Amino acid sequence: MIRIGILGNIGSGKSYIAKKFGYPVFNADYEVSKLYKKDKKIFKILKKKLPKHISSFPIDKNEITTAILSNKTNLKKIIKVVHAEIRKKMNLFLKKNKKKKFVILDIPLLLENKINNKEDILVYVESKKKDIQRHLKKRANLNHKLINRFEKIQFLSSYKKKKSHFIIKNNFTKKSVKKGIKSVLNKIL
């Protein structure tokens, strides 16, 4: 099994591209939202660590947002709790898909949280700033302060690009994405 890790800036289209590879995708953002909705244990831990912000189950994403924006250390507290659980879910996903040729890791803080392996093939999704802005505006309940807080804990684009084996230019057209993915898979194989 070859693990392909998708890197890029917030709003660059990482999840879209991950899906377009046509192989099983581990989407960390999706798994986190499932944790907030269904995992009572995570709720209890977060409620204990952030009693002013987390009040009811299922966890309301607005409570998480308020916690993150009210204090710089809260994001670290949340990440510490949530990432341990996400790592377990990723390991189950990898076990379940061990016979697949490829698996795609769509994990926003893949490098920052040292989730990647040395053998992982890293693909950087590069998008123009104006395309990213346009893409982000389409998102429901977009919060610029929240995005800035997350950007501050991420490695610089230049670093992620340097660490990547491939770059896919995403100009948000199906044709460019398809071509980029095909090129990456052909070079790996």
92-132 confidence digits (pLDDT tens):
999 999 999 999 999 988 998 888 899 999 999 998 888 88
In the chain the beta strands, taken as DSSP E runs, fall at: 2-8, 25-27, 102-106, 121-126, 166-169
- Give the lowest-confidence range in 51-55, 149-153, 162-166: 149-153
Burial class (CB in 10 A: 0-12, 13-18, 19+), 139: exposed
Q: Could you write out the DSSP letters of every residue in 37-63? A: HH-HHHHHHHHHH-TTT--SSSPPHHH
| pTM for this entry | 0.90
Distance CA 158, CA 163 (A): 9
Structure tokens given for 133: 């802005």
- Tell me the average pLDDT of the chain: 91
**pLDDT for residue 39 is more than 80:** yes
Closest CA to 99 of 46, 166, 34, 23: 23
| CATH architecture assignment, domain 1-24+100-189 | 3-Layer(aba) Sandwich (3.40)
Burial class (CB in 10 A: 0-12, 13-18, 19+), 19: middle
